[in-house]
Chains A and B, each alone.
Chain A
Amino acid sequence: MTLRTDRGTGALELRALTKSYGGNTVLDRMDLTASEGEFISLVGPSGCGKTTTLNIVAGFEVPDGGDVILGGRSVLDVPSYRRGLGMVFQSHALFPHMTIADNVAFGLSVRRTPKSEIRARVAESLDLVRLSAFADRYPRELSGGQQQRVGIARALTVQPRIILMDEPLSSLDAKLRREMQVDLKRIQRAVGITALYVTHDQEEALTLSDRIVLMNKGRIEQNDTPEAIYNKPANAFVAGFIGEASFLSGTVVQSGDPGMVRLDSGTLLKTGAAQLLAGSKACLAIRPDRVYLRPLGAAQDALAGTVRARAFLGTTVRHIVELDGGGEIMAQLTVPESDGIVEDGRVEVMDDPQDWRLFPAEST
């Protein structure tokens, strides 16, 4: 693939990036490294500073402190248009007065690239996003998904060191979004380009990324592979943000592996590795797909509760169980597993202690 030439490497490093708007700290000493060809997603609740980070990398905003290092060199003093970046916008931001081909050629034509080379590279880019047939159309004649593919082609044609994407798919409907995710991943792999991707959709981040950077209030909560972030969340915030979780609070009785926790309701539970001191308050995060239910039997110390709601989701059934002594837990069972469990029925919650993670209480 000739779309990617080596104009310096696509490695990106953010060092202690800090930014505040009128006393309101939006980025707080943020560090991040991305190596060549990596697909990194910035994820986090709205207002956590994702766009700000991207805008600083793009050169649209100047950080109050810290540094942006691209291909081994600080680019803070390099204006946006010389940073050699590509960007895909949420609103597509296609030039309405240019044909698709002219839009894709834009970056090359402002660099005064020879016409013949422009033609060849535009053709190649359009081919990559499978829009060759639309070269002479205008943006408003294309659907939202097609427009976004033009946006991607435009960004790739300049052979950027990094491609920046700020929620590029969030204006598309759910089905198209899923198709585009597959496309996006295919294209990024084919070109082998470093991608910095902003999304507030955790599922999208899990699907696309080599690494997920979960941000909250201008800081990084966890920076890890999708598997690690889903299975081994670093804290309760991560557990709650990526995937679903129910939270129960209690007190650590025994630290170590396995640990023991006494829930506020009084029940004693075995848990996964507990690095907390015995006696400290703790919060237990439980993924709904790691919880099993069965009709309440005779067991003495069972974690028991009443099914308050059941929702059929196609291949699975979701249950909300109100625990005796307080607290609520979600359980997602396969259809056969949920056999015999009825609304308002008494159930016993079965646990697989390795999957129930323990965090300090104050971090929720």
Chain B
Amino acid sequence: MTRMRTFLGNSALAPPVLTVMGVFFLLPMMMMFAQAFLPFDSRTLTGTTLTLENFGRFLGDPVHLATFWRTFIVSLMTALLAMAAGYPLAWHLHSLRSGQARLWCTLIVLMPLMISLIVASFAWMLLLGNNGAFNNALRWIGVIDRPIRLMNTVTGVVIVSAYSTVSYPILTTFAALENIPPELARSARIHGASERQIFARVILPLSLPELLAGGLITFSLTMAAFVVPFMIGGGRVNVVPLMIYQHTLQLFDWPGAAALGILLFLLTLAFVWFVTRLAQLFMPWERR
């Protein structure tokens, strides 16, 4: 009877989400996955026999491999930059005592998540251009006489990608800092640690895993992002998501796009797995 009641109570809960995820996510993903193993023909678009040729097309070509490498490097740099900028912000947010100040700073920190990516990129175009606000300011101060090229470069793409994802490392690190019991700092202090030592030996090691987790979110998101490379890279910074976009909507090469997508996903997963394992190696207390 209890079991029956539990079942009835639960049976109304799961079907909606199972429908949404099953029909509109899993099924499309499977169909896309299948595409990768169908031959591409520029006239009939897709054939019916099974083939691995789509993967070979990209893995065998140095230009495409270079694009994979570039995508990886851009994502890695973006993650590092977002972590470097995120930690001080998380630390500052954590050290604020007044509720009002915390509220405003949290709002600012959530800003990149809440405003449209396209609006943000578009603002950054105004900032980074050769005649943009950034270069104009530097020229006005007299630091440079020729503009630093940021638009249409990897550097520019990394900066804007980091901007659009910096909230993740901030939020994860902030949560970690808030969760460190205050007694730990007190205990370190009374047993002789200076403020600097408390930070280096207690606070930093205990918040690093979450900073890293936030960094990995940034990494994964950047691996899959094409809006920023498109707008800031201006066709000069080709990355895999952009190739997927082009193969799908411009070349109608769906099998190719599917193969690229699978490779991209696997590469992302492999790197995240690798970093997580590596981190566990250096942080044995995190091991379960």
Contacts and interface: CB of A to CB of B under 8 A. Distances in A.
A contacts B directly (C-beta below 8 A): yes
Interface of A: 58-60, 80-87, 89, 91, 93, 95-98, 106-107, 110-111, 138, 140, 154-155, 158, 164
Given A96-B285, A138-B284, A110 B186 contact: no
Contact of A95 (B190, B197, B202, B283): B202
B191 A110 contact: yes
B202 A110 contact: no
Given A60-B190, A95-B206, A158-B192, 14 more contacts: A60-B186, A80-B189, A81-B191, A82-B192, A85-B190, A87-B186, A89-B187, A93-B183, A95-B184, A95-B188, A98-B285, A107-B192, A110-B193, A138-B284
A87 B190 contact: yes
Contacts of B190: 58-60, 80-81, 83, 85-87, 164
A110 B283 CA distance: 20
Contacts of B186: 58, 60, 80, 87, 89, 93
Given A93-B181, A95-B184, A138 B193 contact: no
26 contacts: A58-B186, A58-B190, A60-B189, A80-B190, A81-B189, A81-B191, A84-B192, A86-B190, A87-B186, A87-B187, A87-B190, A89-B183, A91-B183, A93-B184, A95-B187, A96-B285, A97-B205, A97-B283, A106-B188, A106-B193, A110-B193, A111-B192, A138-B284, A154-B187, A154-B191, A164-B190
B92 interface: no
A106 B191 contact: yes
Contacts of B187: 87, 89, 93, 95, 154
Given A91-B181, A155-B191, A110 B285 contact: no
Contacts of B205: 97
B165 to A, nearest CB: 27
B177 to A, nearest CB: 14
Nearest to A90: B183
B209 to A, nearest CB: 9
A356 B80 CA distance: 75
Given A60-B186, A97-B283, A110-B201, A87 B191 contact: yes
Judged by DSSP, the binding face of B is: helix
Interface of B: 181, 183-184, 186-194, 197, 201-202, 205-206, 283-285
Nearest to A58: B190
A135 B284 CA distance: 15
B192 A81 contact: yes
Nearest to B200: A110
A110 B284 contact: no
A174 B266 CA distance: 54
A110 B199 CA distance: 12
Of B190, B194, B197, B283, most A-chain CB atoms within 10 Å? B190
A83 B186 CA distance: 13
Nearest to B288: A140
B182 to A, nearest CB: 9
Nearest to B184: A93
Nearest to A88: B187
Contact of B197 (A82, A96, A110, A164): A110
A138 B206 CA distance: 14
Contacts of B206: 95-97
Contacts of A80: 186, 189-190
Nearest to B182: A93
Contacts of B201: 95, 106, 110
Contact of B191 (A86, A96, A98, A140): A86
Contacts of B285: 96-98, 138, 140
A110 B192 contact: yes
Contacts of B197: 110
Contacts of B283: 97
A158 B284 CA distance: 26
Contacts of A164: 190
Contacts of B191: 81, 86-87, 106-107, 110, 154-155, 158
A83 B192 CA distance: 8
Contacts of B189: 59-60, 80-81
Nearest to B287: A138
